[in-house]
Chains A and B, each alone.
Chain A
Amino acid sequence: MNGKFSQRLAAERERVKRSAADFVRSWDAFWFLPRHVETLAILRILTGAMLLYTHLVLATDLGSFLGVDAWINNDTSRALHDGRLGEATAAWSYLWSIDSPAWIAAHHVLVILASASFMVGFLTRLSGPLAWWFQLMIVHRLLGSLFGLDQILTYCVMYLAFTPCGAVFSVDAWLRRRVLGRRREPIWKGWTWLLPADQPSVAINIATRLLQLHLCVIYLFGGLAKARGQMWWDGTALWYAVGNYEYQSWDATFIAAYPGVFTALTHVTLLWEIFYCALVWPRWTRPLTLAIAVGVHAGIGFGLGMATFGIMMIAANFVFISPEWIRRWRGPTAERLEGPSQTA
């Protein structure tokens, strides 16, 4: 009897041990298996283009948003952060201290150059962190005129900034071929860091996982916040979004005659947002989850006047697309350059 019990206990112990080892292995692979760069490289282009666009639009009316004559002037912006008009926050910006329109314009030229460099992948190791830094300083200064676009844009550039996302589809890749050629040992070792090779990297995987999890948090709390309302449950929320004149970029008010349709879309949106964090991981539910993401954000972009936000959210969802797919599309070029390897 005792012997049988001991055997079962030992087997159970072994099973728990194996499960724990499996968990550690999966955890390790989830975060630390090297990953190819293609997905983040495309996201870099999209994020850089949107950064460039937002900064160019800001440039058309720069004095209204930065400086002493802005809607929220330097002193008010500072006071809203430093504790004089509420609780102090750490959202500091040196732009509070720049009064001269000439200096503000010169600074903005630098901001635009950094964004453009990041988009085309020129010296991405430097332009990425620089574009992120400028973005942080600007969002901390633009209090009052920000919305969802600024959030997702800041997060995308933050996660991309410290990865070798300029290794492909970039000026850096072209420069690397010109400067290093097929040499394995460059004259100056810094070149291999500045112009990263097209090879799997742990940094790419970590950045991918962080953005994926951040998206899950955004949708989860977006859905939970909606679940506290009544209209998302009785199905009328979509109508009240469509019927909002200030948001409207496409008149879809004909939908008022089809309550069965807009209530169904409201429920799908609510449930999709709440369960996105679970459904986006399994392979067989991921395509549908991402397809709804595209549908919802295309609807917001096309119908509710926030094309920039819609495009950027769809771009962020692109982070769930495996780089191996894009690599296969690239065909033999990628393999010829770096060769195959085991990746996430």
Chain B
Amino acid sequence: MHLAAVFTPPMAFQSRGPRGLSPSVSKLLAPLAAYGQFLYLDRGYAFFAPDPGPSHLMRAVVGGDDDGDGDGDSNQTSRSDLGAGEGGADDVDVHWYPDLNEQWPRLLYHRHFMLAEFLNDSYHPKLPANAAQWVGPDLPLEELKAWRLGRERYDSILGSMTDHLRAQFGERSVRIDRVEHGLPDFVVYASDPTPLDDPSTYIVIEDISIPLESLLDVRPESLPPGPPPGLGSDLSVPAVQPLDAPGVQGGPVR
């Protein structure tokens, strides 16, 4: 039984296709799921897979305007633009997570790095305000519920992280931005070795509503793979974000 519980979760992780999890693997997994979850065996072991992708960071803007609409200094995307520990304005501090200057030893830095990736993996775009009125053949109710739950989950995680920073920085206002750090192509890099932390390689990922057209275009079979029943992803959180959602790029890297 134990060996089956070791083998089945990564098998399930790989055997989910556009139509869902392989029924045979699903049947095998069902009786083992709880055992595997409790013993932390419900992993996919997909390290740097299927392809290495860009990193995701968190930029926390402490103080100033915290309306979270992504305006103001969100155009300043690199650490060097804003400084590692303090912002341009007198009453605004900017902190990056992860940051080798603030988190030491390396294991602590890596835990913060994983938190930033976790927030990004959990991202789910906002729904249009009138999404409910489109429930029907193009937007089944179950699908709408899944979208809403996904967004609620993201909001809870973001809210928890914001509360943490607010408590840490003396109840000042906090806004967390997700930032993607791209990877250079080796041909370009070999001919022109631009520093890896060049400002142009950082992009703030905006949080905007998914357009109604995109929402109605997304069929269940085109949703990206979430974990099969009873199986957490490597983050133990079902992922149901659309591939074509704005601001969602690349896969998890760890």
Q: List residues of A whose CB falls within 8 A of some B CB.
A: 53-54, 57, 60-61, 64-65, 69-73, 75-76, 79-81, 85-87, 89-92, 136, 139-140, 142-151, 154, 158, 210, 213-214, 217-218, 220-222, 224-232, 236-237, 239-241, 243-249, 253, 256-257, 259, 262, 305-308
Does B147 sit at the interface, judged by CB under 8 A? no
The one of B6, B160, B163, B197 in contact with A217, judged by C-beta atoms closer than 8 angstroms, is B6
Q: List residues of B whose CB falls within 8 A of some A CB.
A: 2-3, 6-7, 10-11, 13-14, 33-35, 37-40, 42-55, 57, 98, 105-115, 118-119, 149, 152-153, 156-157, 159-161, 163-164, 167-168, 181, 183-184, 186, 189-190, 193, 196-197, 201, 227, 229-230, 232, 235-238, 253-254
Q: Is B153 within 8 A of A225, CB to CB?
A: no
**How far in angstroms is the closest Cβ of chain B from A51?**
12
Q: Which residues of A contact B119 (CB under 8 A)?
A: 144
Interface of A is mostly: helix
Given contacts A221-B46, A239-B186, contact A57 B51 (CB under 8 A): no
State the CA gap A72–B183 with chains docked (Å).
Answer: 28
**How far in angstroms is the closest Cβ of chain A from B164?**
5
Q: Is A86 within 8 A of B14, CB to CB?
A: no
The one of B3, B37, B153, B237 in contact with A213, judged by C-beta atoms closer than 8 angstroms, is B3
Q: Is A73 within 8 A of B40, CB to CB?
A: no
Q: Is B237 within 8 A of A86, CB to CB?
A: yes
**How far in angstroms is the closest Cβ of chain B from A227?**
8
Q: Which residue of A lies closest to B58 (CB)?
A: A71
Q: Which residues of B contact A231 (CB under 8 A)?
A: 51-52
Q: Is A221 within 8 A of B55, CB to CB?
A: no
**How far in angstroms is the closest Cβ of chain B from A228?**
4
Q: Is A214 within 8 A of B6, CB to CB?
A: yes
State the CA gap A64–B43 with chains docked (Å).
Answer: 25
Q: Which residues of B contact A218 (CB under 8 A)?
A: 10, 45
8 further A-B pairs in the complex, CB-CB below 8 A; given A232-B51, A241-B52: A57-B105, A89-B232, A136-B40, A225-B46, A225-B49, A228-B49, A243-B183, A308-B110
Q: Is A86 within 8 A of B149, CB to CB?
A: yes
Q: Is B236 within 8 A of A246, CB to CB?
A: no
Q: Is A136 within 8 A of B161, CB to CB?
A: no
Q: Which residue of A lies closest to B119 (CB)?
A: A144
Q: Is A226 within 8 A of B50, CB to CB?
A: yes
Q: Which residues of B contact A76 (CB under 8 A)?
A: 156-157, 159-160
Q: Is A91 within 8 A of B186, CB to CB?
A: no
**How far in angstroms is the closest Cβ of chain B from A32?**
15
Q: Which residues of A contact B232 (CB under 8 A)?
A: 87, 89, 91
Q: Is A253 within 8 A of B189, CB to CB?
A: yes
17 pairs across A/B with beta carbons < 8 Å?
Answer: A70-B164, A71-B161, A73-B163, A75-B160, A85-B149, A85-B152, A89-B230, A136-B40, A146-B114, A154-B40, A225-B44, A225-B47, A239-B186, A246-B57, A246-B98, A246-B113, A308-B110
Q: Which residue of B lies closest to A224 (CB)?
A: B14
Please count the residue pairs between chain A and chain B whose beta carbons lie under 8 angstroms apart in the complex: 211
Q: Is B160 within 8 A of A71, CB to CB?
A: yes
Q: Is B156 within 8 A of A249, CB to CB?
A: no
Q: Is B164 within 8 A of A225, CB to CB?
A: no
**How far in angstroms is the closest Cβ of chain B from A206?**
10
Q: Which residue of B lies closest to A64 (CB)?
A: B164
Q: Which residues of B contact A69 (CB under 8 A)?
A: 163-164, 167-168
Q: Is A240 within 8 A of B183, CB to CB?
A: yes
**How far in angstroms is the closest Cβ of chain B from A191?**
30
Q: Is A136 within 8 A of B38, CB to CB?
A: yes
State the CA gap A218–B234 with chains docked (Å).
Answer: 13
**How far in angstroms is the closest Cβ of chain B from A211?**
10
Q: Which residues of B contact A86 (CB under 8 A)?
A: 149, 153, 237-238
Q: Is B183 within 8 A of A73, CB to CB?
A: no
Given contacts A147-B254, A224-B14, contact A256 B49 (CB under 8 A): no
**How far in angstroms is the closest Cβ of chain A from B196?**
4
Q: Which residues of A contact B193 (CB under 8 A)?
A: 253, 256
Q: Is B167 within 8 A of A226, CB to CB?
A: no
**How far in angstroms is the closest Cβ of chain A from B102?**
10
Q: Is B10 within 8 A of A147, CB to CB?
A: no
Q: Is B14 within 8 A of A221, CB to CB?
A: yes
State the CA gap A150–B39 with chains docked (Å).
Answer: 12
Q: Which interface residue of B57, B184, B230 has the most chain A CB atoms within 10 A?
A: B184
Given contacts A143-B236, A237-B48, A253-B196, contact A136 B39 (CB under 8 A): yes
The one of A144, A146, A150 in contact with B157, judged by C-beta atoms closer than 8 angstroms, is A144
Q: Is A91 within 8 A of B40, CB to CB?
A: yes
Q: Which residues of A contact B196 (CB under 8 A)?
A: 243-245, 248, 253
Q: Which residues of B contact A57 (CB under 8 A)?
A: 105, 107-108
Q: Which residues of B contact A253 (CB under 8 A)?
A: 189, 193, 196
Given contacts A80-B153, A243-B184, contact A225 B106 (CB under 8 A): no
Q: Is A240 within 8 A of B51, CB to CB?
A: yes
Q: Which residues of B contact A144 (CB under 8 A)?
A: 114-115, 118-119, 157, 235
Q: Is B51 within 8 A of A245, CB to CB?
A: no
